[in-house]
Chain A
Amino acid sequence: MEIIHSARPLYAMAVSAVAVVLIGFSYERPNLREFWTILAAVVKFAIVMSMVPAVLDGKTIEYSLVTILPGLEIGFKVDPMGILFAATASFLWILTSFYSIGYMRTLKEHAQTRYFMCFAATMTATIGAAFAANMFTLFLFYEAITLCTFPLVGHKETPEARAGARKYIVYLLGTSLAFQLFAIFLTYNAAGTLEFSSQGILAGTASKTMLTVIFVLFIAGIAKAGIMPFHNWLPAAMVAPTPVSALLHAVAVVKTGVFSILRVLFFVFGTDLLVDLDIGTAAAYFVSFTIIMASFVALTKDNLKARLAYSTVSQLSYIVLGALLLTPSSAVGGIVHIANHAFSKITLFFCAGHIYAAAHKTNISQLGGIARRMPWTMAAFFIASLSMIGVPPVAGFVSKWYLAVGSVEALNYPVLVVLLASTMLNAAYFLPITYKAFFEREKEDEYHHGEEVREIPIMAIPLVLTAVGSVIIGLYPDYFIALAREVIR
């Protein structure tokens, strides 16, 4: 495997860090300030994409930034899994930036400078996590994401927002300090290093009990992946403005969580060790519980964002499940779902925010007939729902297919049942929304002020684009699948 030494991963990460400063200084000129955000997003995406050809070719790009202590190094490594995550995140940031501008200006939100600064900072940390070469760097950026998103979650500064933000940080910081850090210490003690390696670093270093303990600690400590019972922060974080929920909780924060788990599973433990330890199956069942349970809870929620939140919890566990089944196909399914879910979920959240901004409606029961006034939005919503359910030709189908094939490969039929059941549950809680929007009558109630409810272009275009993106990825998944296959080789 050829290694290229280049500072490009650092640049990709640092672009938005520079933007944070520029945004801060432009606080008096909103248009200039927004320009920095867009510019940074585009440049970041460009730098990330420029590294894709090399990665597809089988090479990795490495860069070592600084050694803090012997054994603790801040280093970057661009490999297939990282570039998949980074490409998805950076592309979606561009769209989210436009959407954010529309959302914030329509609602005349306060503290916009702080908002955009924290957004840029979070993206810095996300790309940093995507390209992390060792567990320490990953942990550093994982925690940095928590910090940077805290002001975003509590943005509205109402008591509910504060309570939600507090819950958010308690769950994330608590689990990462108590469990993840412990696991990192134990890993370092056992393996003597924290560098990611495709064969894993823990093989043969400690007893089975110790390795299982480390495994459990990692799973418990990476609460960003939303595995029950540490998922509560996700619905609590829905107090954030919708663009925040869209990018961060459909793409950046939660994907960093599952990404970290995948890194731990594949690059710290290694598939061979996991097979040896025989924990894959038990963990797979544990995660399946989340998939089903979250779907049931989603059914009960009337608040649109809450329903989407629980849907996210459920979908994230697909990714983890894919990895835990320990077969090539399921792993591919899990990894491509990072991208597929990102595109689809962000569409759904964009729609939710757009509905709130344009029509001031938050609950599903209020959405009767809204498709008449917001056709593009609801069409996009419908497409994204299909992706969640797993209907061809939309993206979600690809992931589900590979997961199903993988579970058959693993001779794990209960998991197959879980997949089918959750597909049906997904349908049960998504389709009614579309139906209501298109086919029900508009209610005359206190929410209908008689004003014109119109779609706002700057918000509508991004969500249409992401919906279309979902379809494109569904039809031409080869790019992502190729990357995913590279990972498991």
Chain B
Amino acid sequence: MISAENLPILVIIIPLISAIITPLVGRIHRSIGWLVALLATSLSFAYSLALIRSVMENGPISYWLGGWEPPWGIEYVVTPFNGLVLCVVSFITIVITLYARKSIEQDVSESKIPFFYSLYLLFFTGLMGIVITGDIFNLYVFIEISALSGYALVAMGRERDALIASYNYLILGTIGASFIVLGIGYLYMVTGTLNMADLSARLPELYDSTTVRSAFAFFMVGLSLKLALFPFHIWLPNVYTHSPSTVSALMAATSTKVSAYVLLRLMFTVYRPEFVLTVVPVTKILLVLAALAIIIGSVIALAQTNIKRMLAYSSVGQIGYIILGASIANQASMTGSLMHIFNHALMKGSLFMVVGAMVYRTGIVNIEDMRGMGKKMPFAMAAFTIGALSMIGFPFTVGFVSKWYLAVGALKADMWYFIPIILLSSLLTAVYFWRIVEAIYFREKSEKLAGLPSEPAEAPFGMTATTLFLSLLCIVFGIAAFIPTKVAAAAAKLLLGG
């Protein structure tokens, strides 16, 4: 049944079907919903690993849905690039699923928990589908699957502000998706195909066509909205702040990264590097936007008092890093950009998980109230400190690896002026993270914290263990960086026209 050739479709089908059966089996006992989710994501992760291993040895894998030959049929393609993203997304989702159990029991009312997991699995399906598909309209379908379930997931937050955040996300997300489908339509109109590989072959002669260029423009704007690239990031802070902790963690670690993947795939695989670098030098614009995102994201993060909002603006800056590396477009910087997709997922995922653990036990989200938290929740705060060091870019952590590659890439491209920007944002990040580290360890407990009963102290084992695990990975992969780097470098080579 599980033959290697069917792996690409199984990666999608299993979470999809699980999403449908979860509400049914969830009626038996609410934990079953969680169990189903865990099983589905674990299987997907196992398959992703198998896929990437096979790809690194044997070359790209192609799967025809329903046996229909592309370009008429829908094709799923696995290359080092999307294999890496598949593994990252499914891995992070497993960890967050393990984390989610207790957290969701507090955030979502009991009768709704099976539905939560159903949406969760749909969201996951959507993400995996986006990454693995080789057909551009199929891409739109999966984008919408993950988007819609995302809107619903966000709306499950405790506060009523979650509803309005979700609504705004919906409006902006739909604009983005509609632009994408418009772009797809334009491309179809001039090439007659929806298969990405086929498009890539047919587009070069059409580079001068206004239709193709407009399509590209629509794609750029639509994806930037999904990606939360400055100045299209407006939905992100509210969404991350008000959704349930698990959802914030999941979204921060995955959805924007997957949108970045789509952008890179489009820019470099479908449209080819020559287009984005010379014919329509959109990379120049992206460089400016990325630099702005990096600086402005960090600056606004400084001003925040709510820790989730601070992390959200920090994410806006980090997305800037990814786009910066991609826009400089040489081997080193692209490797850095791809590494940052992985690294930021680890870092931000663990940081949001820490916040979730804190909210679970104490309900505190305000930075002022976090004083003295180090004594109450030492493990969670240790994870926070590691995550903070990684965000600042300390050597030995994953944050340093990404920054190293970006800097080396910038220098090789003679764009040394980006290094002060990167360093400046590191400094700003150091400021807004370090003041929290100082507050949690070296200050007396805030009144709110002191007013809480001292037992139980740490968050439940499942939550704390997964949080620590993820932050320790920040260090592990900061040292053993050559493992993901190898894959990222291969992917970068592929994207840049190897």
Q: Point out residues on A near B: beta carbons under 8 Å.
A: 66-70, 72, 136, 139-140, 143, 147, 151, 154, 157, 162, 165-166, 169, 173-174, 177-178, 181-182, 185-186, 188-189
Cβ B404 vs Cβ A177 within 8 A: no
Contact of B401 among A68, A178, A182 (CB under 8 A): A68
A69-B482, A69-B485, A165-B442 known; A185 vs B411 contact (CB < 8 Å): yes
Cβ B408 vs Cβ A177 within 8 A: no
Cβ B427 vs Cβ A177 within 8 A: yes
Cβ B434 vs Cβ A169 within 8 A: yes
Contacts of B377 in A (CB 8 A): none
Max count, chain A CB within 10 A of own CB: residue among B404, B412, B416, B424: B404
Contacts of A72 in B (CB 8 A): 404
Q: Point out residues on B near A: beta carbons under 8 Å.
A: 389, 392-396, 401, 404-405, 407-408, 411-412, 416, 419-420, 423-424, 426-427, 430, 434, 438, 441-443, 478-482, 485
Which chain B residue lies CB-closest to A114? B441
Contacts of A169 in B (CB 8 A): 434
Max count, chain A CB within 10 A of own CB: residue among B392, B438, B442: B442
Cβ A178 vs Cβ B412 within 8 A: no
Contacts of B405 in A (CB 8 A): 69
Cβ A177 vs Cβ B426 within 8 A: yes
Cβ B442 vs Cβ A177 within 8 A: no
Which chain A residue lies CB-closest to B410? A185
A140-B396, A189-B408 known; A181 vs B478 contact (CB < 8 Å): no
Cβ A174 vs Cβ B427 within 8 A: yes
Cβ A143 vs Cβ B411 within 8 A: no
Cβ B427 vs Cβ A68 within 8 A: no
Q: Could you list some 28 contacts between A and B, CB below 8 A? A: A66-B479, A68-B478, A68-B479, A69-B482, A69-B485, A72-B404, A136-B395, A140-B396, A147-B389, A151-B441, A157-B442, A157-B443, A162-B438, A162-B442, A162-B443, A174-B427, A177-B423, A177-B426, A178-B423, A178-B424, A181-B426, A182-B419, A185-B404, A185-B407, A185-B419, A186-B416, A189-B408, A189-B412
Contacts of A70 in B (CB 8 A): 482
Bound CA–CA A173/B432 (angstroms)? 13
Which chain B residue lies CB-closest to A175? B427
Cβ A69 vs Cβ B396 within 8 A: no
Given contacts A174-B427, A181-B423, 14 further A-B pairs with CB under 8 A are: A66-B479, A67-B482, A68-B478, A68-B482, A69-B404, A69-B405, A72-B404, A162-B442, A177-B393, A177-B427, A178-B427, A182-B419, A182-B423, A185-B411
Cβ A185 vs Cβ B408 within 8 A: yes
Bound CA–CA A178/B429 (angstroms)? 12
Cβ A173 vs Cβ B434 within 8 A: yes
**Distance (whole angstroms) from the CB of B92 to the closest CB of chain A:** 22
Bound CA–CA A350/B379 (angstroms)? 36
Cβ B411 vs Cβ A189 within 8 A: yes
Contacts of B481 in A (CB 8 A): 68-69
Cβ A165 vs Cβ B482 within 8 A: no
Which chain B residue lies CB-closest to A137? B395
Cβ A177 vs Cβ B396 within 8 A: no
Q: Which 6 A-B pairs have the closest CB atoms?
A: A189-B411, A140-B395, A185-B407, A68-B481, A177-B426, A69-B481
Max count, chain A CB within 10 A of own CB: residue among B394, B424, B443, B485: B394
Cβ A173 vs Cβ B430 within 8 A: yes
Contacts of A147 in B (CB 8 A): 389, 394
Bound CA–CA A139/B482 (angstroms)? 20
Contacts of B408 in A (CB 8 A): 185, 188-189
Bound CA–CA A293/B268 (angstroms)? 58
Bound CA–CA A140/B479 (angstroms)? 12
Bound CA–CA A186/B389 (angstroms)? 23
Which chain B residue lies CB-closest to A136? B395
Cβ B395 vs Cβ A143 within 8 A: yes
User: Count of A-B contacts with CB under 8 A?
Assistant: 71
**Distance (whole angstroms) from the CB of A181 to the closest CB of chain B:** 6
**Distance (whole angstroms) from the CB of B331 to the closest CB of chain A:** 12
Which chain B residue lies CB-closest to A72? B404
Bound CA–CA A251/B438 (angstroms)? 25
Bound CA–CA A193/B207 (angstroms)? 41
Contacts of A154 in B (CB 8 A): 438, 442
Cβ A139 vs Cβ B411 within 8 A: no
Contacts of A68 in B (CB 8 A): 401, 478-482
Which chain A residue lies CB-closest to B416? A186
Bound CA–CA A154/B480 (angstroms)? 33
Bound CA–CA A165/B439 (angstroms)? 12
**Distance (whole angstroms) from the CB of B381 to the closest CB of chain A:** 13
A165-B442, A189-B412 known; A139 vs B395 contact (CB < 8 Å): yes
Bound CA–CA A169/B441 (angstroms)? 15
Contacts of A185 in B (CB 8 A): 404, 407-408, 411, 419
Bound CA–CA A364/B253 (angstroms)? 57
Bound CA–CA A460/B442 (angstroms)? 31
A162-B438, A185-B411 known; A69 vs B395 contact (CB < 8 Å): no
**Distance (whole angstroms) from the CB of B375 to the closest CB of chain A:** 11
**Distance (whole angstroms) from the CB of B62 to the closest CB of chain A:** 32
**Distance (whole angstroms) from the CB of A272 to the closest CB of chain B:** 25
Bound CA–CA A177/B403 (angstroms)? 12
Cβ B434 vs Cβ A182 within 8 A: no
**Distance (whole angstroms) from the CB of A230 to the closest CB of chain B:** 14
Contact of A151 among B392, B442, B479 (CB under 8 A): B442
**Distance (whole angstroms) from the CB of B53 to the closest CB of chain A:** 22
Contacts of A165 in B (CB 8 A): 438, 442
Cβ A166 vs Cβ B420 within 8 A: no
Max count, chain B CB within 10 A of own CB: residue among A147, A166, A177: A177
Which chain A residue lies CB-closest to B426? A177
Which chain B residue lies CB-closest to A213? B416
**Distance (whole angstroms) from the CB of A120 to the closest CB of chain B:** 18
Contacts of B389 in A (CB 8 A): 147
Contact of B411 among A66, A140, A173, A186 (CB under 8 A): A186
Bound CA–CA A154/B435 (angstroms)? 13
Contacts of A157 in B (CB 8 A): 442-443
Bound CA–CA A162/B424 (angstroms)? 24
Contacts of B393 in A (CB 8 A): 177, 181
**Distance (whole angstroms) from the CB of B194 to the closest CB of chain A:** 39
Contacts of B426 in A (CB 8 A): 177, 181
Bound CA–CA A72/B397 (angstroms)? 13
Bound CA–CA A189/B434 (angstroms)? 30
**Distance (whole angstroms) from the CB of B414 to the closest CB of chain A:** 10
Bound CA–CA A165/B404 (angstroms)? 28
Which chain B residue lies CB-closest to A186? B411
Contacts of B480 in A (CB 8 A): 66, 68
Which chain A residue lies CB-closest to B389? A147
**Distance (whole angstroms) from the CB of A119 to the closest CB of chain B:** 17
Contacts of B441 in A (CB 8 A): 151
**Distance (whole angstroms) from the CB of A5 to the closest CB of chain B:** 21
Contacts of A151 in B (CB 8 A): 441-442
**Distance (whole angstroms) from the CB of B333 to the closest CB of chain A:** 13
Bound CA–CA A173/B431 (angstroms)? 10
Bound CA–CA A136/B396 (angstroms)? 10
**Distance (whole angstroms) from the CB of B444 to the closest CB of chain A:** 8
Bound CA–CA A415/B392 (angstroms)? 40
Which chain B residue lies CB-closest to A67? B482
Bound CA–CA A143/B395 (angstroms)? 8
Contacts of B401 in A (CB 8 A): 68-69
Bound CA–CA A66/B481 (angstroms)? 10
Contacts of B392 in A (CB 8 A): 173, 177
Bound CA–CA A67/B483 (angstroms)? 11
Which chain B residue lies CB-closest to A161? B442
Bound CA–CA A174/B428 (angstroms)? 9
Cβ B485 vs Cβ A182 within 8 A: no
**Distance (whole angstroms) from the CB of B199 to the closest CB of chain A:** 35
Bound CA–CA A166/B438 (angstroms)? 9
Bound CA–CA A133/B438 (angstroms)? 32
Contacts of B423 in A (CB 8 A): 177-178, 181-182
Bound CA–CA A177/B429 (angstroms)? 11
Contacts of B419 in A (CB 8 A): 182, 185
Contacts of A69 in B (CB 8 A): 401, 404-405, 481-482, 485
